Each structure stands twice: as C-alpha cells, then as structure tokens.
C-alpha cells in the first residue's frame, strides 16, 4: 500500500464517518456519552487511532517536502492522540465528559477537513506531476 492508496482510503473513511456524525448530532452526543462510560470508548478512542496512525507511518514515513509529508504528519498526530488516550484514560474521559456537547460537531468538522485534504492528496495532487501523453 502506497501513501496515495492510504490517503484515498483514510480520506474516504474520514469523510463518510464525519458526514454521518454531522447529520446525526443528537445521536452522536448520546454515543459520546456512552463511549465515555464503557470499554468501547477505550477501543474507539485509543486503540483504533494507534492502529491507523502506525499503519500510516509504515506506508508514508517521509519528511521530504511533498504530499507524502502531509500523510506522515496526519499519521503521526493520529498515533500521538491514540497513545495519549490509551495511556491517560482517566484524563481523556474527564476532558470528554466536560465538553461532551461540543465534541461531536468539532470531531465531524475536523474529520471533514482531514478527509478532504487526504482525498485531494490521494486523487488529485499527483495527477498533475506526470507528463501527458498528448503532444
């Protein structure tokens, strides 16, 4: 899997999930309340970001100025966020509980921005780098 395929896949997942949360705000708030109270929150909030972040770093780990750097930074930040949530569960649950009303909207907004950037990287950014066969 190249960084382009990873950007396409993770961008698509991010946009779909973010739109689902954006259009179902009340349900998302209820899920967030339940997530803080159960083990599912630990898995969704900590384990999955560690998995996705580490996968991203395995396939896009370049710090050269290019679109691959953006994917590397997204993967690094996802890994760090997941590690924080997995290591400091009680602090993460406390912060989530205090801001439970705003979190679903902010999560969907951030997810949409991230998803659109990754979809651009995956589908359009490199399309203009290759020479055309039209003469």
The structure tokens listed for 5 are: 């395929």
pLDDT at 133: 45
State how far the Cα of 66 lies from the Cα of 73, in Å rounded to an integer: 11
Query: Residues 103-129: pLDDT tens digits?
Result: 889 989 999 999 999 899 889 887 766
8, 67 in Cβ contact below 8 A? no
- Please compute the mean of the pLDDT values over residues 9-33 and round it to a whole number: 92
For 6, 34, 48, the CA distances from 96, given in Å and listed in that order, are 29, 11, 17
pLDDT at 130: 55
CA nearest neighbour of 55 among 84, 29, 75, 82: 75
Query: Residues 56-86: pLDDT tens digits?
Result: 888 777 888 888 888 889 889 999 999 998 8
pLDDT at 108: 93
Mean pLDDT across the chain: 85
């Amino acid at each position: 899997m190249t960084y382009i395929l990873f950007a396409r896949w993770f961008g698509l997942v991010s946009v779909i999930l973010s739109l689902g949360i954006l259009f179902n705000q009340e349900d998302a708030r209820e899920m967030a309340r339940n997530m803080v109270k159960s083990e599912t929150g630990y898995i969704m909030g900590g384990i999955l970001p560690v998995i996705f972040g580490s996968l991203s770093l395995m396939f896009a780990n370049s710090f050269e100025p290019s679109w691959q750097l953006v994917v590397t930074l997204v993967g690094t930040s996802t890994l760090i966020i997941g590690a924080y949530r997995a290591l400091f569960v009680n602090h993460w649950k406390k912060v989530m509980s205090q801001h439970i009303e705003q979190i679903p909207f902010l999560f969907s907004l951030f997810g949409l921005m991230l998803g659109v950037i990754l979809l651009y990287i995956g589908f359009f950014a490199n399309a203009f780098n290759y020479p055309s066969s039209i003469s």
